[in-house]
Amino acid sequence: MVEITHKNTTLRTAIAQAIVCVSSQKTIDAIQNDLVPKGNVFEMAKTAGLFAVKKTSDIIPDCHPLPVEYTGVTYEVEGLQIKILIEVRTIYRTGVEVEAMHGASVIALTMYDMLKPIDKGIEIQNVKLVKKKGGKSDFKDKFRKDIKAAVIVCSDTISAGQKEDKAGKAIIAKLESAHVEIVDYLIIPDEFDRIQEVTLNHVSQETDLIIFTGGTGLSKRDVTPDALAPLLDREIPGIAEAIRSYGQERTPYSMLSRSIVGTKEQSVIMALPGSTKGASESMDAVFPALLHLFQIFKGARHD
């Protein structure tokens, strides 16, 4: 199955439809008056659909097993057509589109099976996804396209040429995938004064996003958060908490991270872990949703 452990858990909804066309008004009357020999068509088909939604991952090889939080089925009768609408919701890392379409298909097939003794001209049509919501696609193209970022790697060993930077490059790759322009990529020692100097320089240049990686551990040499904290006009603890929570689901050591996020004037400043995995997971935890901050800033300037 496709790797989804990097995704965030969010509310995801899908609505699918199928249409059952019968050949006679007598069939519609039999359904509505509960006169079909095999039983109540709407209730039996609905029950089959509920089972189908829950069993989707058993039938479709690449579907992930997931918690189904809600399934609702409605019918609309228009002439000789019965439109089936099914809504499925979950709070998970992947969507429920296939579950919804599988449920709609099985409801339609169940209706076909129950009605074929009294109607030989039944057709199933238009099984399709009507609507989906939740996940990364909901945020696509909703952010500013002119955001500029600086990525600063704080490491004594990397700045001395003893190690290669991978964390900073992982951050840059994530930013570029979100259409953020990289205006600076810098490697510096993890030194208090140098960190503050670089930060203030980028704030004065009105750099939108200033991301530091490294120096967030508990060693006395890890000073990045200590250098940044007194510069911030306001901390945004929810972002740092989201980073730690995301990491905590993957390794218990994440609780030791001293990631810090806040604002200085119109710049957002972040201090992320220095390991490649820690930096990459931190970016996965809050991007692209963090870019909504700049929409808030834009609105505040207009008020």
The answer for residues whose C-beta is within 8 angstroms of residue 137's C-beta and 6 or more apart is none
Q: Are 101 and 127 in contact (CB under 8 A)?
A: yes
* Locus of tokens 């076909």: 112
The Cα–Cα gap between 185 and 251 comes to 28
The Cα–Cα gap between 235 and 265 comes to 12
Q: Which of 113, 156, 184, 226 is the catalytic position?
A: 113
Least Cα distance to 7 among 97, 138, 135 occurs for 135
The Cα–Cα gap between 90 and 66 comes to 8
The Cα–Cα gap between 108 and 77 comes to 13
The Cα–Cα gap between 228 and 177 comes to 26
Active site (annotated) includes residue 284: no
* Residues tagged active-site: 113
